[in-house]
Amino acid sequence: MKYKISLILLFCFTFGICNAQKKDPAANEKKIYAGRVKTAFKKGWKAYMDYAKGMDAVNPIAKKGHNWYSETLLMTPVDAFSTMHVMGLKKEMAEAKALIFSKLNFDKDMEIQQFEIAIRIMGGLLSAYQLDGDPRFLSLAEDLGKRMLPVFESPTGMPYRLVNLRTGKVSGATTNPCEIGSMLLEYGMLSKLTNNPIYYEKCKRGVVALYDRRGKTDLVGTEISVETGEWLDKSAHISGRIDAYYEYLLKGWLLFGDKDLKNMWDVSKAGIAKHLGDQAPSGFWYGYADMDSGKRTATIFGALDCFYGAILCLDDDMETAKKLQASIYKMWTLKGLEPESIDYSNMEIKAPYYMIRPEAIESTYYLWHYTKDDQYYQQGKTMFESIEKYCQVDNGYVQIKDVNTMEKWDTLESFFFAETMKYCYLFFAPEKSFSLDKCVLNTEAHPFFKTWK
Ligand code: DMJ
């Protein structure tokens, strides 16, 4: 009798496991990887708490921290919070909140770069408010938003780059499209959540002023004066200094349903495809061109440019996203970690460092999310493994000075926590912990939810 029962139990157990494996053979592996990404995040965070608590960022090897400006803006805790929430890291969330609510204060006689502070700090606070519900996050974001508003008081309506948080004095009249347009999501969210349209209105006015100055190719250049409206560098590309301007035209439409943005995106997208898209022998890439003539000026593609794969996915252009992804992965596996930039005409590395940027992982994740094609899941695993292998030190994670030698660079940008770790985690995260379909991620990967009608 006893023997019979054991046999039945054994049968049920084996059958149960086999059945579960049939349902999702990768379930177990995903659980293990989700745990490993969380462990990596916690290790990075511990380094911050041990050596840089209360400062902007950590230098794990030197066992110290540093601030961007003369005083801290709590860059790492604010940027890290939304990922802690997605990962369900309660202890770390409590630590970040304690720091933010006891130490974060914007009343400082300090000149800051409004774009970086908007996407990392304002974006982080707004997302934290939506995820966590604590109204102090929103109050801080609103205080910051008010202090940064003077940037829009230029003759053209395009924002100045820098502002003093206490006095409101602005400077930095020479700027770029990214620093003009890539705060539209943050200012828009602030408007929605505070019922005060001023932030979105001012920011959108600057975006439209920039768009109206686009070249004959429908593309924007790299440098412009917000006082005269004149272009100072007419080089068009999707790399740093322009990238998130395009990203926010599409995401602004998706989040706010603003048809002007949709139109601006459609026009820009066609210009990008026509003048920057480049089918080379080494693969499909986006290069540089003159914004008026469309003449190719360089065949450079960089780590930052990789964001465009995610945007193509959001725009439902899977075929182009897949072509670009093959190149992104080629660049990543060239040395085992992606360099900052390459010349795709000969696959020569132009800038050899790796800042633990997220964009390649981001696009791989979007493609996997929308296609569920296993090759992208495998690529995501490879990317995480290479960060584990090359960027990990005994007491944390650091950047890489040169992907040829994998020499360490003892610093860690806050986007390691906000983005790189978040995208790595999402490949393996339990479905119920996060859904990309229910939010729009800002350019710093902070989830924004449409909570209004
Ligand atoms: C982040 O701050 C944001 O993703 C920004 O849009 C570009 N640069 C970094 C990450 O590389």
Answer yes or no: are the C-beta atoms of 450 and 391 closer than 8 Å. no
Q: Which of 223, 253, 282 is the last residue of a domain?
A: 282
Distance 331 CA to ligand 1 centre (A): 18
Distance 203 CA to ligand 1 centre (A): 19
Count how many domains the chain has: 2
Do 152 and 195 lie in a common domain?
yes
Tens digits of per-residue pLDDT, 298-336? 999 999 999 999 999 999 999 999 999 999 999 999 999
Q: Which of 117, 421, 423, 443 most suits a substitution to test ligand 1, by most atoms within 8 Å of the C-beta?
A: 443
Q: What is the pLDDT of residue 24?
A: 63
CATH value at residue 266: 1.50.10.10
Q: What is the pTM of this model?
A: 0.95
Please tell me the residue having the least CA distance from ligand 1 atom 1: 444
Between residues 329 and 20, the one the model is more confident about: 329
Q: What is the pLDDT of residue 131?
A: 98
Residue 373 domain-assigned? yes
Residue 258 domain-assigned? yes
Tens digits of per-residue pLDDT, 218-271? 999 999 999 999 999 999 999 999 999 999 999 999 999 999 999 999 999 999
Tens digits of per-residue pLDDT, 335-392? 999 999 999 999 999 999 999 999 999 999 999 999 999 999 999 999 999 999 999 9
Do 241 and 361 lie in a common domain?
no
Task: Tell me which of 340, 362, 413, 419 is the catalytic residue.
Answer: 340
Residue 273 domain-assigned? yes
Both tokens of 123, joined, read 């974006």
Burial 287-315 (b: 16+ CB within 10 A, else e): bbbbbeebeebbbbbbbbbbbbbbbbbbb
Do 390 and 314 lie in a common domain?
yes
Catalytic residue at 359?
yes
CA distance 222 to 237: 8
Give yes or no for residue 28 having a pLDDT over 80. yes
User: Which residues does ligand 1 sit against, CB inside 6 Å?
Assistant: 244, 304, 357-359, 415, 419, 443-444
Helices 243-256 and 259-271: crossing angle in degrees, nearest 10, is: 140
Do 320 and 208 lie in a common domain?
no
Residue 143 domain-assigned? yes
User: In the predicted model, what is the mean pLDDT of residues 147-154?
Assistant: 98
Residue 89 domain-assigned? no
Domain membership of residue 403 as a residue range: 28-53+299-453
Q: Which of 282, 316, 346 is the last residue of a domain?
A: 282
Do 129 and 264 lie in a common domain?
yes
Q: What is the pLDDT of residue 444?
A: 98
Task: Tell me which of 79, 92, 116, 218 is the catalytic residue.
Answer: 116
Q: What is the pLDDT of residue 431?
A: 85
Q: What is the pLDDT of residue 453?
A: 87
Give yes or no for residue 1 having a pLDDT over 50. no
Catalytic residue at 247?
no
Answer yes or no: are the C-beta atoms of 396 and 58 closer than 8 Å. yes
Per-chain mean pLDDT for the chain: 95
